[in-house]
Amino acid sequence: MSHNKLTTSAGAPIADDNNSISAGERGSLTFDNFRMFEKLAHFNRERIPERVVHARGTGAYGTFRLNKDLSDWTIADFLQKPGTDTEVFVRFSTVGGGQDSSDYARDPRGFAVKFYTKEGNFDLVGNNTPVFFLNDPSKFPDFIHSQKKNPRTNLPDPAASFEYWANHPQSLHQMTILMSDRGIPLSYRHMHGFGSHTLSFWNKRGERFWVKWHLKTQQGIKNVRSEEAGNYPAFGAQQDLVESIDQGDYPRWRVQLQILSEEQAKKLSVNPFDLTKVWPHSEAPLVDIGMLELSRNVENYFAETEQVAFAPSNLVPGIGASPDKMLQARLFAYQDAHRYRVGANVNTIPVNAPRCPVHHYQRDGAFAGMCPLGGAASNQDRSVNFYPNDRIHQGAPAPVPEVAEPPMPLEHDAWIKPYSQDGEDYHTQAGDLFRLMSDDQKQQLVDNIAGGLRQANASVQTRMLAQFNKADPLYAEMVNFALSEST
């Protein structure tokens, strides 16, 4: 016999959990089946809304170990002393598909890291690619709509994807990566991660630096060819990560940074805040700063991996944002999505809760009163719930001026209006990437492009070929040949 009593969610013991109360052996159920009602009502609410993007994913806990003193660049507490260990939670995901999609879809992979630092959570929210399809957030909903299922048939629609890309040359670089051999990673362990956005550091002297984060897999890059993807189980990447950690084969990533002073950034050959561009390593070399290792699987997928909430606005003293327009919008949009999906107190859920004391004047909302880490407060207890107040000397929360971020300069004579970025060079870096590929990689790229582009109309094909030609004439020639062979 079990030593644990079966109870209602309110703790009352349950005598019979197999049989509902009815009016006679074969009669109707009665309204005093409140225990059954509790079970059914909770069952109806077991799922929170699926993420619009990054819905299908898996995650694990681990450690980031710093091996370089970064105090010349940042006051961030966890980046000061070599040998410092910081607990992390990492969530990997596909981007476009829902929970019912495959781990082996041709799709970017989300790579998000939550650092539980002594001064709050720092979330590095990126992908397995160093760039993205867009550099203006107003286009993001349209882009995602073009990648999702057709609104009439609810079927995948490659023609819509290429129609969008044909109208947005800024997507060419990321689309080239997506359609290359790296478009379908073999597993989450065998791919790089990137913060993608430009973030900032500032040091104790108030000097600002622009920063890009890179996480390089120590397991080696391994990918799946398009014709082989269907041979893998839909859940294969998740299974691979869970089993490797359970078996003690802990995956690792070398953490590196690109760091530029404000003056160096002004001289960079590309716009340092354009998410469609990489920083040339010749101008901003990589700096090794540590190692990230995953060593513990979750105990409950829903409570941890499904409810974990990453947000670029989760920053800590010494790490800030930048004028990256996509990042600026995500500072709002991610937290807004979490409040919608999970609730106003999303950060009180254990996987999201900081590993340091939390004091603020926010109150109430769904899940108010949760104390996941054994704290004494309940909905911030009975203390004052507004600021400023007269109880600072009694321990009421107060601002900490010494962690203030230095001011961020604006462009001289900056006028507030929409600024077109159509004149940017979106072809050179895509062409550089194409020229780095082996013959086999180039062939995989053009075959993957042709497979979807042939479903688009002639106008879309013509405009895409023009983009490929600007990147590299051979790129366009090979895609055109692949298209002609398929007709």
User: Distance between CA 94 and CA 101 in Å, rounded?
Assistant: 9
Element spanning 241, H or E: helix 236-246
150 noted as active-site residue: no
Task: Return the structure tokens found at 370.
Answer: 């949760």
CA distance 108 to 265: 28
- 353/180 Cα distance (integer angstroms): 38
- CB contact at 8 A, 185 and 222: yes
Bridge partners, 210 (sequence order):
200, 260
Nearby residues of 258 by Cβ (< 8 Å), 6 or more positions away: 211, 212, 214, 279, 281, 284, 285, 286, 287
Which residues are paired to 166 by β-bridges? none
Q: Does the annotation mark 54 as catalytic?
A: yes
Give every CB contact of residue 202 below 8 A, 6+ residues apart in sequence.
74, 75, 208, 209, 318, 320, 405, 406
Q: What are phi and psi of 70, to 5 degrees?
A: -110, 20
In sequence order, which residues have a C-beta less than 8 Å from that of residue 414 and are 6 or more positions away? Answer: none
Exactly one of 3, 42, 44, 54 is catalytic; name it. 54
Task: Single out the catalytic residue among 121, 127, 314, 448.
Answer: 127
| Rounded-to-integer distance, Cα 487 and Cα 482, Å | 9
DSSP, residue by residue, 128-150: SSSS-S-S-GGGHHHHHHHHS--
Q: Is 381 left (phi over 0), alpha (psi -120 to 50) or beta?
A: left
The whole-angstrom separation of Cα 406 and Cα 408 is 6
Enumerate the active-site residues.
54, 127
